Amino acid sequence: MVLVSSETDKERQILAGQHIVYSYPSSSQPPAELMELTRAGLVGGVILFGVNIDEGTAAAVQALKEAYGQSPAPGLLKARTGHEAHFLVTADQEGGQVRRIRNGEPQESAKQIGASADVAAAARAAGEGAAKTLQELGINGNLAPVVDVYRQADDLMDHFERSFGNTSEAVAAAAVPFIQAQQAAGVAATAKHFPGLGWAARDANTDERAVTIDEASLEELRRIDEQPYEQAMAVGVDMVMASWAIYPALDAQLPAGLSSCWMRDELRGRLGFEGVTISDAMEAGAVAALGDAATTARMAAAAGLDVLLASSRNVSQGSQLREGLVAALAQGQLDQADFDEATRRIAAMRSRIAV
């Protein structure tokens, strides 16, 4: 049980919890610890993996939503932001090999969609199919589409067929209708991995280790890799997920998701993104070496990430990230006004998704 010493501390814990997407171990049934945290208002969302999908998933998702609805969180968010924020349930339902709901849509991979005779129609159908598949289980957020522009055949994004194409035009032509179709159905879409992982070689996986994209000039990143993001933003994409790769063209020290140069100056400042920013897996190898959960939570929020993805399938990871945000706020290591604005963005996005 989470113990707090005052009403102010309690509210800070609740609001920090809205910045964390939790995960839990195999089985569709959330553990008692997660249910308790949700009833206390300390959980704003979850991510589901294949191991969480079975005949009991829809009921489990509904139980989480009801626990959230009975918690202090919706009322506090309404009072602070003016938005009726729903509970966020996410999954990766990109298509092809990356489908947490294996028998669901879209069956085609991003590469197959991008190679279709009518790309817009295929992408629209894929977005509609993804939304329908997810909503059958109560899932209202898709961590898709990938908008990385792959560079070499059989590189990281091409090998797993997660990229729509090898030009910014081809990627945007598929990503935009995919996003529009999903969001029209009440499922938040996520453009990823900013500023672009299309440069990554086959073995350059940030889940496993630090990755540096040395060869990418800032001019080329902006001219090619960022173009699909601009198109996605133009149609109101709800979320942008940051890459954990390092891009020395703008910041030679930190992964993009921990770099204010990328998240605040480039994505928010130069490109004008006003939606929600979300991290990739906070336990990824590219990040783990930089500090414990509390440290990386502070770094991510300071850099400009609104939502932190605790995807290790261990409830305690989400709690550690939440506590890291609370401590950083209490100690003045995070700007309160920035945090409040991030909370407003999160609540606004969650007010638009399906209940």
Residue 237's alpha-carbon distances to 93, 232, 326, in angstroms, are 16, 5, 29
Q: Is residue 172 part of a domain?
A: yes
Q: Is the pLDDT of residue 28 over 90?
A: no
Q: Is the pLDDT of residue 102 over 90?
A: no
Q: Is residue 10 part of a domain?
A: no
Cα of first residue to Cα of last residue in the chain, in angstroms, is 27
Instruction: Quick: pLDDT tens for 212-245.
Output: 999 999 999 999 999 999 999 999 999 999 999 9
Residue appearing with tokens 């919706």: 74
Q: What is the pTM of this model?
A: 0.95
Q: What percent of the chain has pLDDT over 90?
A: 90
Instruction: Quick: pLDDT tens for 31-61.
Output: 999 999 999 999 999 999 999 999 999 999 9
Q: Is residue 3 part of a domain?
A: no
Q: Are strands 246-247 and 251-255 parallel, antiparallel or unpaired?
A: antiparallel
- Cα(49)–Cα(311) distance, integer angstroms: 9
Instruction: Quick: pLDDT tens for 116-158.
Output: 999 999 999 999 999 999 999 999 999 999 999 999 998 889 8
CA 304 to chain centre: 13
Q: Is residue 49 part of a domain?
A: yes
Q: Look at the chain and report how many structural domains it folds into.
A: 1
- Cα(82)–Cα(71) distance, integer angstroms: 17
CATH of the domain at 219: 3.20.20.300
Q: Is residue 9 part of a domain?
A: no
Binned at pLDDT 50, 70 and 90, residue 4 comes out as very low
Domain that includes residue 28, residue range: 19-351
CB 189 within 8 A of CB 144: yes
Q: Is residue 1 part of a domain?
A: no
Three-state SS sequence of the chain: CCCCCCHHHHHHHHHHHCCEEECCCCCCCCCHHHHHHHHCCCCCEEEECHHHCCCCHHHHHHHHHHHHHCCCHHHHHHHHHCCCCCCEEEECEEECCEECCCCCCCCCCHHHHHCCCCHHHHHHHHHHHHHHHHHCCCCCEECCCECCCCCCCCCHHHHCCCCCCCCHHHHHHHHHHHHHHHHHCCCECEEEEECCCCCCCCCCCCCCCCCECCCCCHHHHHHHHCHHHHHHHHCCCCEEEECCCEECCCEEEEEHHHCHHHHHHHHHHHCCCCCEEEEEECCCHHHHCCCCHHHHHHHHHHHCCCEEECCCCCHHHHHHHHHHHHHHHHCCCCCHHHHHHHHHHHHHHHHHCCC
Mean pLDDT of the chain: 95
Q: Is residue 308 part of a domain?
A: yes
Q: Is residue 14 part of a domain?
A: no
Candidates 253, 250, 239; CA nearest to 306 is 239
Candidates 47, 37, 41; CA nearest to 280 is 47
